[in-house]
Chains A and B, each alone.
Chain A
Amino acid sequence: MEHPGTFWGVIAWMIVWGVAGSVAIRRRYLQHDLDTSNTTFVGAMLGAATGPVGLVPLWLKTPELTNRLIVLPAIGAVVLVAAAFAFADPDSNCVANGSFVASQITNGIIIGIIYGFMALGLTLIFSILGVVSFSHGEFYMVGGMLTYYVTVVWLPGINPLLGIACACAVVFVLGALFERMFLTPMYQGRIDRPVEYGILITFGLAFTLQYFVQAIVGSNPVKTRRYFDFPRVRLPSPEDPWLVKTSRGNLELFDTISISNPRLTAAVACVAVLGALLYFLHRTWTGKALRAVSQDREAAAIAGIDPSRMNMLAFALGAMIAALAGALLVQAFSWLPQVGNIPAMRSFVIVVLGGLGSLPGAFVGGILVGLVEAAGTGCIPDPQKAASYIPAYGMVVLTLTLLLRPTGLFGRRYASGAHGKF
């Protein structure tokens, strides 16, 4: 970095005014007996983006915090950080190299879609059961592991789709069984603190599953072959394929962005399944019943929906979504019993960023987290550190979200029943 002083100076300035803004604006709104739900966030972002210039009028006028007032300062703050970085380090690939930026953004979005999809399962479980499932990463791992065993070890040569379907079915049953055996006491009020019970019991399952798989299959890294090879495409012409060029395992767009086959197929599959899921949730009776339960348990029960069965369905479905993500990625990453830890953490980040219990939030959150990680890995000047910090980027997003806007992007303050309080 050429001018580190400038960059860190700007960051320090933003932090000081951000903290000042978040505290002062919240106080001010509280004194005036106004709605304070977004004050911390707006105060922090406006303070960071504009400093006293924006904070003073806000403090004086205390306007209603409309969506525009929420979104614009946030964008301003991000732009300011980017500008400070660009000024401080003009030679960085992130600033000077357009095709590098395009590749990083594409990669971020693609992996973000996959992880957003996985987080969708987590948020689905939360919206119905009010449980943050700590075993999500292990369902992901089991999904990938089963797909490997079905397609490579037990029935080699089988269509990978069958392997994936098989893994999903097994995990669906596993999720349903677990819910029946261990989560049912939660709904009957037999447990004092259901949220904590839910965390602990899923945590126990994660622990057991991870070591069970390790004891059974060992710790050799395994991987399936690519499910599908790209056909050879050269566009617009074979001599000068500046538009699209493919090889078996790679797709290159505009001579700059290269996307690997396993990731692209996984992302496309995720989008397709997401479509199917949305159809299921909005167009079928069961799906509507699920959504009804997530909105109001008692009312749904009165309308003749059995919330207990919906709990089972939601947990099994959520687990299956994680397994599907794993089954799609076992062709991209070497698979081990510990492989679920990182995506599980990332799913937590995503659901909190998107808002616990919000389905669109999970998807948008996934893409945002993908982009943040790509930016962190791509832009931190010291190559020795950029990758070492990968696990931290998401966690910084998580802590910032929880501090500034615990409801996340699209969060509701409640999930079903009594245990959705935060």
Chain B
Amino acid sequence: MRRRVPHLLGLALLAFFLAFPFVYSANDYPYVMHIMITSFFYAILASSWSMLAGYAGQFSFGHIGFMGVGAYTAALFSHYFWLSPVPTELCTEYRFGETWLVVVNPIGVTSTTLTQDCLRQAMEMWGDAVQPTRMPVWIGILLGTLMGGVFGFLIGVLVLRLRAAYLALFTLGFAEILKATISAEIEITRGQAGMELPALFESGVTLFGHTFDKTDKLPPYFVMFGLLLVCLAILAWLAGSKFGLFVRALREDQDAAAALGVNTTRYKVLVFVVTTMMAASAGAVQAHYVGIVTPNNLFLLQMSLVVAMAVIGGVESFIAAAIGAVLIEVALEMLRNSFVIGGVEIDMTIWRLVFFGIVLMLTLRFARNGLIAPLIGYFTRGHVARETVEHRLHPRAEEAAAK
């Protein structure tokens, strides 16, 4: 009976998140929904990272970089590629039947509205007569995901021989180089100014007879939540299959796994590709949702948030990591207030991060499996644990007596 508790709780949680947007109706609805969407975004990052780091033992600090690859691929795609029924005769363009694929020229960051790219100039000439359209958002997200996979593959191949600290430093290096490149190549990426993206549903979306405008939070909420569920399902399937077994063998002892006939190369690269694709897709969706992406999204602080969320949730259980991410993101946002204790005003905007760091350290020190994973484990594996403990306790006690 007890073993079913997590499943029931999981279903309850699922039902809660599905019903939440319909039930909740306070004034701050858009803000709360925004927090929820962001927390799902972090949940995808944290759970895929826990697969990479917790299950497979590949301690990557570049996860946020792969997220950035997805986000920037989507941003560049939607920024530079347009469809037009009429040729602009200013841009590079390719004809496909009755439409032209317009490739906008990069002009970097400008302040005045006078310097415009070739498409804007053409649009000015056309007036309202011709309306060029953006490429569909989902293609950008798909491309972002694939690009994340390509980068994941390359990095995965390059780090094959690296372990532990070296791997962490290498992936950190990758993320930093990526960030510096994006900041410096201003003509193309617009540098620190960031790239603006269209909303997920730029022209609104109609569901069940209700039309949602592009600023409505409900459609992106379910897109991000759906993506999270898909990622968790894939992770669960992988963890339960031969794959999960092999990557855990990788973590415990790579050489032994290789000696036992596990194709370590293949699984190591595979786990990189799968998890980075998840990070990239989350990045692409989040970029379209927020509407802007800047190199600061790849800040080491963002990576530390993901790592801390996974660790506090439980790095060896992707479900726990996801729940941890949601809880922490919500808590961090809720604590953005100041309160007064004994006449001293405490500005929680900053202190919340201090407490967060302390919680992270204490969790690591005293609850190595995180705070949520043991709860799940208590129900699912409680009996196993008890048996093991008893097994262990008796010989240990004898040993102690012998000493």
Contact = CB atoms under 8 A, between A and B. Distances in A.
Tell me whether A and B are bound partners.
Answer: yes
Interface of A: 126, 132, 181-182, 185, 191, 193, 195-197, 199-201, 203-205, 207-209, 211-212, 214-215, 341, 345, 348-349, 352, 356, 384-385, 388-392, 395-396, 398-399, 402-403, 406, 419, 421-422
A190 B300 CA distance: 29
23 contacts: A132-B165, A132-B168, A182-B364, A191-B368, A200-B307, A200-B311, A203-B304, A204-B357, A207-B304, A207-B356, A207-B357, A211-B353, A214-B350, A345-B176, A356-B165, A384-B186, A385-B185, A391-B180, A398-B170, A399-B177, A402-B169, A406-B162, A422-B166
A422 B162 contact: yes
Nearest to A211: B353
Given A199-B168, A211-B354, A398 B173 contact: yes
Contacts of A193: 57, 164, 251
Contacts of A402: 162, 166, 169-170, 173
Contacts, number: 127
Nearest to A338: B301
Interface in B87-108: none
A207 B360 contact: yes
A191 B191 CA distance: 43
Contacts of A385: 184-185
B53 interface: yes
Interface string B347-386: 1001101101110110011001000000000000000000
Given A193-B251, A341-B300, 8 more contacts: A182-B364, A191-B368, A197-B364, A199-B59, A207-B356, A388-B191, A422-B163, A422-B166
B172 A196 contact: no
Nearest to B356: A207
B179 interface: yes
A190 to B, nearest CB: 9
A352 B168 CA distance: 12
Nearest to A213: B354
Question: Which of B179, B186, B251, B368 has the most CB atoms of chain A within a 10 A radius of its CB?
Answer: B368
B172 A204 contact: no
Nearest to A40: B161
B354 A204 contact: no
Given A204-B364, A396-B177, A196 B166 contact: no
A348 B173 CA distance: 9
Given A341-B300, A406-B162, A395 B184 contact: no
Nearest to A356: B165
A403 B158 contact: yes
A391 B168 contact: no
Nearest to B169: A348
A214 to B, nearest CB: 6
Given A199-B168, A398-B169, A406-B166, A392 B304 contact: no
A403 B166 CA distance: 10
B265 to A, nearest CB: 14
A201 B170 CA distance: 19
Given A204-B357, A348-B172, A422-B165, A388 B180 contact: yes
B304 to A, nearest CB: 6
A395 B176 contact: yes
A204 B360 contact: yes
